[in-house]
Structure 1
Amino acid sequence: MDGSGLAGVEIIMTPKIASGLLDYEAVSDRIVMARLKGQSNNLTILSVYAPIRDAPDHLKDKFYADLQLTMNKIPRDRW
């Protein structure tokens, strides 16, 4: 993360939901992944802040590559 303040993403949850937090990963300043304990299945939440259409191609390419790598971490039986 570059700390520039130009991008940023978070996941806000109540204390009750946060008590079921299994894992949290700040992939970049644009991608956050959280795993939550569910009653029958666990839940993966991705929160993303995509670059705008006019952003330089290298920023968009990096964002979508990071997003794909993050999605690849989610077990396929969870889709």
Structure 2
Amino acid sequence: MRLGSIQAEEFGDLQRLVDGMYAGREAVDRLDLVVQAEILDLAPDLMEIVTLLPPGVYDRRRLCDQLNSALAAHGWGSMYGTVE
């Protein structure tokens, strides 16, 4: 985390994950998302957010709603950023 800032160095990493997963796709399976997050070596807090997703297939809007809800519940939205 940078001093004097509430944003973590990992700010925006979830957005990059989502953007990459939906390049050329309409829907993403939770397992594929978790595997890609592990490949990208996301920070432990962000991995927690990703692994909180219930199993299933997600269109982008639903996935973003789920991830943003988990970020809000942890109070991490301003630290890591939200996704769209």
What TM-score does the superposition give when structure 1 sets the normalisation length? 0.30
TM-score, normalization by structure 2:
0.28
Larger radius of gyration: 1
Higher helix share: 2
Structure with a larger share of its residues in strand:
1
